[in-house]
Structure 1
Amino acid sequence: MSAETVSIAITGAGGAGVMTAAQMVLNAAARTGLYGLMARSTGPQIRGGEAAAFIRLGAKPVNCLDNRFDVMVSLDWLNVERFAAEIPLDAASLIVCDADAGPPPSRIVASGAQFVTLPLQQTVKSLPGGRLNMLGLGVLAAILGVPDDAITVVVEKALRKRGQAVLDAGLAGVTAGRSLVEGLDVGRFHLQGASTAARTDRWSVSGNEMAGLGAVRGGIRFVAAYPITPATEILEWLAPNLEKVGGVLVQAEDELASINMIIGASFGGTPSLTATSGPGLALMMEAIGLSVASETPIVVVNVMRGGPSTGIPTKSEQSDLNIALYGLHGDAPHIVTAANSISDCLFTTQWSVHLAEQLQAPVITLTDQSLGQSRAVIDRPADISFFSKRETFAAAAATPYQRYAITGSGVSAMAIPGTPGGEYVADGLEHSVTGRPSSGAEDHGEQLAKRARKLEDLDYGQYWAEIEGEGPLAVVTWGSCAGPVREAAELARAAGMDLRVISLRLLAPAQTDRLEQALAGVERLLVVEQSHSRQFYRYLRAFYDLPGEIRVFSRPGPLPIRSSEVLQHIQSWS
């Protein structure tokens, strides 16, 4: 076990309350001054079946799961073997399970972990209204050394709205769970948090919630979307909060309606967004091309999951990169951004709105299930504002209005419907500078160049990537892989290695000169990604001249990329 973190897995059948108990553990630990990360694993059926929650707590910010688990609390053994590979255990791990639950899966036994059996089901039956997850919460609170008052506050906040009887039963379950652990030697799992003064400005958030907040901060005031795992929580967060700032959310009948609704709302002058996952993004591609051709700004947040087809809706993967970059037909330049952490989901979404509005173009923002549905205790992100906005046509203009005028920046003023003198033809056909449909070679060439130039010539500043460290070895990555890569780099530097980490936030348009400068002096380069076909590596090879010896560490979901694996690849060069 790391001296600075402790990792916990809670497993049980779907509906057993695993996620509820895990979130209470995370929030209670946060009240003691700890940081934390909670990830979730469920089966492809989404409801029912298997369920597991993974928690990592530490005195410093936690950006990824650990390489192993210190404690596993199994509420039952139903279907655990389906995700046993996601729970690496060893001889130093402690497994708490029900004495009457039967034999554990052979893979769990083979880990060599220490088993402690407790009368969980028997105890629950003795409690009026008892719930197994609340008993497990008490067991974990005792093992982790979480004070009674921290657990009580969290339980009361979560259960009071369900009535006094439910609250009393929950608190009784926690107390009973604590009593079951009395006498166990578990002090090695206790962590010391920060003082109250040091933790007054922390948030407990998911990546999907942060994406929703980024949308609101960026100025989004209309959202149309169709629910889809794992993006639905963005919509659930936006539904009440968008209304508070005068916005509107519409649950459309499908993804085709969603994308066309936001194009229409944006054409009317309202910054607009939709959220989806891979199958939905595939359906939206034709309409995103309409956004390109008509130069109508929109944002599409795509929370990636395993594919193809329905794939694995509840597991994370980075395999939508190709469709985000290349999925549109014709020459259709657009922007693709990617969040690099749960906290960064806020900034990247907000920045994406800014880019869409400034450049009058569609932006596809990529996160994934690992970022979107995981929850972290983080320091409050900085408040960042972008001051540029959509260039609109003013009625007082003296010359006839040209919606698609050829300008130096490639951006031309967009008339809001109803603006006197701002009438123009708006559709997906190629057009002249006035918007009149045209099949002429000159008009087509001019408009193609205009749409490309406005994206290519913009100075995206420092936000295009996050760069840390220096050295002849570089690790290039993106998205949720950035967390384990950063942790591996910290461990490598502590061992005396010099290396740099480059995590791309802007994927399209490619920043060729910037990455060339960031890789200056690099002799060895490791690419880390979570896809089977090495989509990110092939993207890099398509747009950049990569220096030195190149190696790739790639793997599809559902197994996450772990920092120990990245570190092994780094050390293989030493």
Structure 2
Amino acid sequence: MIEQLSWKVGGQQGEGVESTDRIFSTALNRLGYYLYGYRHFSSRIKGGHTNNKIRISTKPMRAISDDLDILVAFDQETIDLNAHELRKGGVVVADAKFNPVLPEGIDARLFPVPITAIAEELGTALFKNMAASGASWALLGLPLEVFNKAVEEEFGRKGPAVVEKNLEAVKRAADFVIELAGGPLEDFKLAEADGKQKLFIIGNDAIGLGAIAAGCRFMPAYPITPASEIMEYLIKRLPKFGGTVIQTEDEIAAVTMAIGANYGGVRALTASAGPGLSLMMEAIGLAGMTETPVVIVDTQRGGPSTGLPTKQEQSDLNALVYGTHGEIPKIVIAPSTVEECFYDTIEAFNLAEKFQCPVIIMTDLQLSLGKQSSELLDYNKIVIDRGNLVTDVPALEDGKLFKRYEFTENGISPRVLPGEKGGLHHVTGVEHDETGRPSESPINRQKMMDKRLSKLKNLKLANAIVADAPHDNADLLIIGMGSTGGTIDEARARLEKDGITSNHATVRLIHPFPAEEVAAQIAKAKKVVVVENNATGQLADQIKLHVGHDKIVSMLKYDGTPFLPSEIHNYCKGLK
């Protein structure tokens, strides 16, 4: 028996690749396996090659596999583009309709199955998705009743007739491939999973769930890949909690609506990607000047401009840290797992209200859209902190205004919601005095700037970085952010076998930068490798700026694909 296996399905976009993967992985999740998925898709509605890859394991992991065990192909292009990933003795389950052929030099077993023919015999080619996934399920020798249950739940809303035909497609394809192969493949038989219940979600859904748990009740947003799933998640669920989602005309409207809602006391967020964040920058400055809390999600993708809207990149860091004109306090946090996406979203709302400033949650496409297993979330960890929100304003003399922007020792002024008795004050985007009245006084200007910028001096996050540092004098410290953490850990395990010791740090607080924590980790290593999906080493530059070490080398990848464990392993091994 084997402990893990990788499976991929590919075809033309709009052909049902997504549903094929969804049923297959849902059934595996029901059995208790750990899963990690990656979607390769085009930036169009229909047409163009697309594939979904799932890694299946009896143990937790958070990385795409280097190779491939089973490829399910709806067309020859899928075989031509993906066969190079197949390990020796791998398997291709292909639709017999296109007379599949393995490329020269590929050592794999080809099983042509009449996937389309089976579907058409049952009334429509739409059933071919279930025939394809059912055939590969059968080869693994897994219990068919679990798979059938997932099919029933997927298509139950369409009525019993549709369910029965999908189940029949599964059975016919499974029977055919088992006869063709002579039974389930013994060398692909997975060891039994732990059977524990797990979540299987994408980062965007975890962010949406986290927003609800944080008390968010309003989301204005404009659709954009790869952020749209947050809006789609909340459209379905936020009304059940008395909230609403509005699709705005653009990202400028979205962020200003979110700022207005937060000013009114309603926790709100918006979500976008790099192009949308560019449009939001002036309004983010407004939130900083008016000290209005707001939470914004940036799901990074390939840029600049339209760039690669459906591909992986981590190139917005500089924009998020430096993008606004003028100087304002802001917080940028970067979750690295789906669990962190949930908990960090709750923390983002707390930080925004505690420090009365914009908080940006920085994810990347792989974390946002890559579906992965997660332990069940602990709702007992949820804490709501609304900061210095005054609900009982002391009586003021006639004509006096509330000092909304009062100079305080920690830089955080008392905040009131509109309508609070005694809380009348001005709100304006120009420089202002303690009551919000416009002021161009040089003395006031300097005091206000110092007040706003001093707020974050008191920001301390217990998990600003996550470090795994077993060695006091490691050969390497590998630093990453976002979705790279699991890949780095897998590469480190291989380095240990090569006799190369390594520590790992994932930076989760991007701004203000956790210099002391990072410096402590750098001091424990001979050389530092910073792994990031961009062309200019933006995270490495932050480390150099705030820590100032000459040990740093950058490992950069900006071709639109995530890092593989073998790539990090080989690069780091070459540094020895």
Q: Structure 1-normalised TM-score?
A: 0.93
- Alignment pair present for 1:118 and 2:121: no
Alignment of 1:281-300 (within 5 A): 281-300=277-296
Distance 1:110 1:228 in 2: 41
Check the 8 A contact 2:393/2:423 in 1, yes or no: no
- Residues 47, 357 of structure 1: alpha-carbon distance in 2 compared, 3 angstrom cutoff: farther
Check the 8 A contact 1:34/1:192 in 2, yes or no: no
Partner amino acid, structure 1, of 2:464:
W
Q: CA deviation at 1:539?
A: 2.4
Alignment of 1:439-478 (within 5 A): 439-460=440-461, 462-471=462-471, 472=474, 473-478=476-481
Bigger mean CA offset, 487-496 vs 70-79 = 487-496
Identity fraction in percent: 32
Q: How many aligned residue pairs are there?
A: 564
Q: CA deviation at 1:363?
A: 0.8
Where 1:244 maps in the other structure, the secondary structure is helix
Q: CA deviation at 1:418?
A: 1.0
Check the 8 A contact 1:242/1:248 in 2, yes or no: yes
Superposition misfits of 4+ residues, deviation over 6 angstroms: none
Which residue is equivalent to 1:558? 560
Q: CA deviation at 1:225?
A: 0.7
Distance 2:438 2:94 in 1: 69
Which residue is equivalent to 1:275? 271
Check the 8 A contact 2:465/2:509 in 1, yes or no: yes
Distance 1:322 1:69 in 2: 36
Q: CA deviation at 1:554?
A: 0.7
Alignment of 1:15-34 (within 5 A): 15-34=14-33
Partner amino acid, structure 1, of 2:140:
L
Which residue is equivalent to 2:123? 128
- Alignment pair present for 1:538 and 2:560: no
Where 2:135 maps in the other structure, the secondary structure is helix
Instruction: Return 5+ residue gaps in structure 2 as ranges.
Output: none
Which residue is equivalent to 1:488? 491
Q: CA deviation at 1:122?
A: 3.0
Partner amino acid, structure 2, of 1:13:
Q
Check the 8 A contact 1:354/1:389 in 2, yes or no: yes
Distance 1:550 1:434 in 2: 48
Which residue is equivalent to 2:3? 4
- Residues 164, 539 of structure 1: alpha-carbon distance in 2 compared, 3 angstrom cutoff: same
Check the 8 A contact 2:11/2:17 in 1, yes or no: yes
Distance 2:292 2:253 in 1: 16
Check the 8 A contact 2:96/2:114 in 1, yes or no: yes
Q: CA deviation at 1:468?
A: 0.9
Partner amino acid, structure 1, of 2:69:
D
Alignment of 1:76-95 (within 5 A): 76-78=75-77, 84=82, 88-95=85-92
Which residue is equivalent to 1:162? 158
Instruction: Return 5+ residue gaps in structure 1 as ranges.
Output: none
Where 2:337 maps in the other structure, the secondary structure is coil
Check the 8 A contact 1:129/1:169 in 2, yes or no: no
Which residue is equivalent to 1:350? 346
- Residues 307, 467 of structure 1: alpha-carbon distance in 2 compared, 3 angstrom cutoff: same
Distance 1:110 1:349 in 2: 48
- Residues 545, 398 of structure 1: alpha-carbon distance in 2 compared, 3 angstrom cutoff: farther
Distance 2:268 2:422 in 1: 25
- Alignment pair present for 1:13 and 2:12: yes
Q: Structure 2-normalised TM-score?
A: 0.93
Partner amino acid, structure 1, of 2:562:
P
- Residues 494, 342 of structure 1: alpha-carbon distance in 2 compared, 3 angstrom cutoff: farther
Bigger mean CA offset, 214-223 vs 270-279 = 214-223
Q: CA deviation at 1:84?
A: 4.2
- Residues 396, 285 of structure 1: alpha-carbon distance in 2 compared, 3 angstrom cutoff: closer
Deviations 1:322-362 (A, max 9, x none): 21111111112211111102222112212111111111110
Partner amino acid, structure 2, of 1:133:
N
Check the 8 A contact 1:129/1:166 in 2, yes or no: no
Distance 2:441 2:85 in 1: 62
Where 2:85 maps in the other structure, the secondary structure is coil
Where 1:70 maps in the other structure, the secondary structure is strand
Distance 2:95 2:219 in 1: 46
Deviations 1:206-254 (A, max 9, x none): 1111010111122212211111111111111112322222222222121
Partner amino acid, structure 1, of 2:409:
G
Bigger mean CA offset, 348-357 vs 295-304 = 348-357
Match among 92, 96, 99 for residue 99 of structure 1: 96
Check the 8 A contact 2:258/2:294 in 1, yes or no: yes
Alignment of 1:270-419 (within 5 A): 270-383=266-379, 384-398=381-395, 401-419=402-420
Partner amino acid, structure 1, of 2:44:
Q
- Alignment pair present for 1:257 and 2:253: yes
Check the 8 A contact 1:337/1:505 in 2, yes or no: yes
Deviations 1:367-390 (A, max 9, x none): 122111121222213332235323
- Residues 557, 365 of structure 1: alpha-carbon distance in 2 compared, 3 angstrom cutoff: farther
Check the 8 A contact 2:93/2:136 in 1, yes or no: no
Distance 1:267 1:514 in 2: 34
Distance 2:559 2:243 in 1: 36
Partner amino acid, structure 1, of 2:574:
S
Check the 8 A contact 1:75/1:132 in 2, yes or no: no
- Residues 387, 182 of structure 1: alpha-carbon distance in 2 compared, 3 angstrom cutoff: closer
Check the 8 A contact 2:332/2:509 in 1, yes or no: yes
Bigger mean CA offset, 69-78 vs 54-63 = 69-78
Check the 8 A contact 1:229/1:313 in 2, yes or no: yes
Which residue is equivalent to 1:502? 505
Partner amino acid, structure 2, of 1:521:
K
- Residues 110, 448 of structure 1: alpha-carbon distance in 2 compared, 3 angstrom cutoff: farther
Check the 8 A contact 1:49/1:79 in 2, yes or no: no
Which residue is equivalent to 2:145? 149
- Alignment pair present for 1:218 and 2:221: no
Where 1:93 maps in the other structure, the secondary structure is strand
Which residue is equivalent to 1:63? 62
